[in-house]
Amino acid sequence: MPLTFERLSPALGARVHGMDLREPLDAASHTALHQGLLEHKVLFLRDQLLTPRQQRDVAAHFGDLHIHPIYPKHPEQPEILVLDTELNDLRDNALWHTDVTFIQTPPLGSLLSARQVPAYGGDTLWASNSAAYAALSAPLRGLLDGLSAWHDLSKSFPLERFGQTPEGLQRFNAARAANPPVRHPVVRVHPETGVKGLFVSAGFTTRIVELEEAESEALLQLLFAHAARPEFQVRWQWQAGDLAFWDNRITQHYACDDYRPQRRVMHRATILGDRPRGPGEQG
């Protein structure tokens, strides 16, 4: 079957046909996947029940992998993060966020593999941050281009859910100590395409540095609501064996919390990226 990308919505998202990631990734497939990712921002592949090792190996073609400071890791493969409703309360992912923006070099992207899915519910939504940016008025874009914001891990990992056991609390405190808030541009220039996108999200962004507190709060609320408009989204209904690969530099996502108490298990490999650059900065 030839390799094709089937577009799923106007803003972003495509289904990939004709690729089997259980086979070693050759140079042509790697290039096609990379180009597809830049063009569509999130790719979906069905019937790819990869082993944790295979998933890690595919992800490692795209960069160094991140090991999450809080979420559990796969026992055989520490680069694979395990999102299992029987291990963790995962409702905190039902919030629009770009992954791991609380570090200096946030992920380039992630590969998320569905292992066990509920009979219904548990969809994930992605939104294009470049579509959101482009839909703002020119004066507001001009203001945002010169701003920066703080991103803080503790905004998405509340102590009530991640610090309740002694081990959990120890991990939580170590994660906070190792990850003090970081500052990123409010508008990021995509390092490969040069396209501008919003780079704030409800998950981790706490404060716009250059503004007064009340101004920052009001503007962030406006941007969070704007970025979550359905026009900028694609929604994926999972089957076990599905794999999603998203460009985390120009998207945010939301894991729908509508399926409990059914079990849901996902494996994620997270590829580190570069330091986000704003419109005024040189490469």
> Residue 266 binds which one of Fe ion, ligand AKG, none, with CB within 5 to 8 A depending on kind?
ligand AKG
For residue 66, give Cα distances in angstroms to 50, 63, 86.
Answer: 19, 9, 23
Nearest CB to Fe ion, comparing residues 154 and 211 = 154
State yes or no: residue 196 binds ligand AKG (CB under 6 A).
Answer: no
CB 193 within 8 A of CB 206: no
Q: Which of residues 24-83 bind ligand AKG (CB under 6 A)?
A: 83
Give the type of residue at 171: R
State yes or no: residue 99 binds Fe ion (CB under 5 A).
Answer: yes
CB of 37 to Fe ion, least distance (A): 16
Tokens 């998950």 belong to 203
> Residue 124 binds which one of Fe ion, ligand AKG, none, with CB within 5 to 8 A depending on kind?
ligand AKG
Nearest CB to ligand AKG, comparing residues 55 and 124 = 124
Catalytic residues: 97, 99, 253, 268
CB of 237 to ligand AKG, least distance (A): 11
Q: Which of residues 98-117 bind ligand AKG (CB under 6 A)?
A: 99, 110, 112
Q: Which of 189, 255, 269, 271 binds ligand AKG (CB under 6 A)?
A: 255
> Residue 112 binds which one of ligand AKG, Fe ion, none, with CB within 5 to 8 A depending on kind?
ligand AKG
State yes or no: residue 247 binds Fe ion (CB under 5 A).
Answer: no
Number of C-alpha atoms within 13 angstroms, CB side, residue 108?
A: 17
> Residue 70 binds which one of ligand AKG, Fe ion, none, with CB within 5 to 8 A depending on kind?
none
Q: Which of 65, 253, 272, 278 binds ligand AKG (CB under 6 A)?
A: 253
State yes or no: residue 153 binds ligand AKG (CB under 6 A).
Answer: no
